[in-house]
Structure 1
Amino acid sequence: MRLVGERVHQWDLSLLEAISENPTLRRMPFMWIILTCLGDGYIWAIISFALLLFGRPIDQIYVSIGLSITAVNIVIFRSLKVLFKRARPVYMTVSLRALTIDKFSFPSGHTCAAFGLAFIFSYFYPLFIVQITVYTVAILIGLSRIYVKEHYPSDVIFGALLGPVISFLFLPVSIRIFM
């Protein structure tokens, strides 16, 4: 089992460096920092606020469901971070370190929340353009977390899988409560 862990860690390190040192991606560092900040929830808050102001009455219910499931998502991924206590990859800059909420890496909370919310948006707004948009944003947020060296690729992959699973499991309960 230890050998598997070492191989995963080596894979993580090589992919982390390949992404964070990629010449094409390095041409737009500001974009990756903006994306990683959007992963703090700002993009989802803006969309939710717009739905509350300009949406239909049912959209207010969808926002409540999304917020409740996101709260569950946060409790679960934060608990896993404390349980696993995986240290974050190397730090990029002192100024970027100020963006970090905690010192643990596994799983990626930004990615977990982004994919969890993408699942919820896709469920309630099953238009292809909505699905492509929310999952593209989620993928870019996850990739940004690797680029800025806040997470290993396996942290992001696990977060991308965990978020939708949590949303899927808690969606029926939330629908019963709010609808």
Structure 2
Amino acid sequence: MLIGDIRNNTVGITSSNIALSFDGNQIQNINNPFDLSSPLLPSTFPLFRTGTLDNANGTITNLGAASFPTAFVGSPIGVNQLDPFSLLLFEVIGTETSTLTLDIDLSQTGFADGTNASESPNQSQFTQLIEVNPSDTPTVPEPSMSIGLFLIGFLFFIRRTKEKS
């Protein structure tokens, strides 16, 4: 998953937290072991590294981490560009089309200027559905440009809406 800060005065993203749900009979996460010190999370986010994988129930919950650049702990990512937040590898094990649902907790997605992505009073979570068709791809996803671009578009929309207020 790629994320980035494309606001007018970009400073980068210093934290985020995601959850994924999927049909465990159709798709399995193959990050085994589910090691939070691996590329599952960026090395520049050394704080509050969390996450739980439950392949049987088809969930990855509370996958998140943070940095605190002003205290010289880690550094921001996604300054005017897309950077990897998480590298999750999946294997399609079933034969039916299924959906992988990505939920991003915007209240835990923070910027280096101290603001967070949930400044809009109507939005505290962002959801992206990804259709997985076993005949199209054997593994899903590598870092998804569409998720990153969609998230960037959403964050840009939040910023534009706030500027008009």
Task: Provide the TM-score with structure 2 as the length reference.
Answer: 0.30
Rg: which structure is higher? Answer: 1
Higher strand share: 2
Higher helix share: 1
